[in-house]
Amino acid sequence: MTKEPHGDPVPPDVPPIESLDNSVPDDDTMPAAPFSAPPSSAPPSSAPPFGPAPFSAAPVKPVLIGRRPRGKLSKKLITAYFAGGLALLLAGTVAVFYLAVQVYGQTATTTAPTARGSAPAVPVPAGGSARGRTPAPIEPSGPLRARFGPERLKNGEKFLVVGEGDAKFEVTVKAKKLRRSACSPYAVKPELGGYLPAELTVKVLQGEPDVSEYDFRVQQADGSWLPSVGGSACEKGYGSFVRRLSAGRTYRSTIVFDVPDTKGDIVFQYPLIDIIASWNIS
């Protein structure tokens, strides 16, 4: 007697096939069809054993976000920049030096009035020529004149100045009597002994010289300097020189010095720090 082979046991929780409800629902809705993947057009041999098929798209280039890194300068370009900057620096230094020489080299060449500074005429012998004449003495330049000191003048005497550029003018300084008090009862009293007023006159013959009241000072017997002061009420026309002077005009002003006595000189400082003339006030 042969035994029939037993089939696979059916789990108890699975209903029989006849019990499945295949009836159509009362409403118009249809049951969702089971999902089925579309058939693949690729040959069976190309499909991977597991997972989805790999994409065959072209490789994508990476996108750079932010600033692009700067390239390095070549050594030749850096050397050219350095050489150009050094050349400009040297050119500027040479230009400044040249201008300084031009400004400070043109020191004032001063001459006394014609009555005092003109050389005597040399007579020409009969039948002779002008070649035998003795040349007039050459006025020393600014640096050379500084060795001999300024031109010493009397009180109230004129002085001819050939200044910077084409400037040419006459300066006259006349000191008045020493006052032991101010010119007004409400003015400031002198501290050193008394007030010394001095009249300044500048007659411009040519050019536009730059002259100020601050260019005049009192030089005492010991060599010390005293500047002009204010508040004495003795000034007249003060500030007339605080501008560039014009040719063909005459400017006058009165400055006051606070001095212990009248022993000394009034000196003229022009154009920068050189003392070119002095007027005796003793």
The pLDDT > 90 percentage for the chain reads 28
Q: Please report the pLDDT score of residue 210 as a whole number.
A: 87
Amino acid found at 193: G
Q: Is the pTM of this model over 0.95?
A: no
For 27, the token pair is 């409403």
Sequence-distant (≥ 6) Cβ neighbours of residue 133 within 8 angstroms? 122, 124
For 163, the token pair is 């200044």
- CA gyration radius, the chain: 55
Alpha carbon distance 104, 187 (integer Å): 41
CA dihedral sign of residues 13, 19, 25, 26? negative
Rounded (10°) CA dihedral 68, 69, 71, 72? 160
Q: pLDDT tens digits for 247-276?
A: 899 999 899 999 999 999 999 998 777 889
Alpha carbon distance 225, 266 (integer Å): 9
**Domains of the chain as residue ranges with CATH:** 140-280 (2.60.40.1240)
Cα distances (angstroms) measured from residue 256 to each of 69, 121, 158, 181, 243: 73, 42, 20, 12, 20
Q: Please report the pLDDT score of residue 154 as a whole number.
A: 94
CB 190 within 8 Å of CB 256: no
Sequence-distant (≥ 6) Cβ neighbours of residue 201 within 8 angstroms? 170, 171, 172, 173, 174, 250, 251, 252
Sequence-distant (≥ 6) Cβ neighbours of residue 107 within 8 angstroms? 141, 142, 143, 271, 274
Q: pLDDT tens digits for 190-224?
A: 999 999 999 999 999 999 988 888 899 999 988 89
Q: pLDDT tens digits for 45-98?
A: 555 555 555 555 566 666 656 555 565 667 788 888 888 888 888 888 888 877
Q: Judging by beta carbons within 10 Å of its beta carbon (0-12, 13-18, 19+), is residue 46 exposed, middle or buried?
A: exposed
